[in-house]
Amino acid sequence: MTQVVLGENEGIDSALRRFKRQVSKAGILADVKYHRHFETPIEKRKRKAVAARRTRRFK
């Protein structure tokens, strides 16, 4: 769960920027996009294979 605590003299704009940064760092939006619609087993295998290739390449 991502949350932002406002400082005493902090504006809502800077708090919103911090919140957006934390959400993008946590990968919440990417996860929502993956689960937005039904994924067939073939699509799921393809996605996992691409992710595995990506992680192998960066190690």
Contact between 16 and 3 (Cβ < 8 Å)? no
pLDDT at 7 > cutoff 70: yes
- Per-residue model confidence (pLDDT) at position 59: 65
29: its two tokens: 């939006």
CA 15/CA 29 separation, integer angstroms = 18
CA 26/CA 46 separation, integer angstroms = 23
- Per-residue model confidence (pLDDT) at position 32: 85
The reported pTM is: 0.53
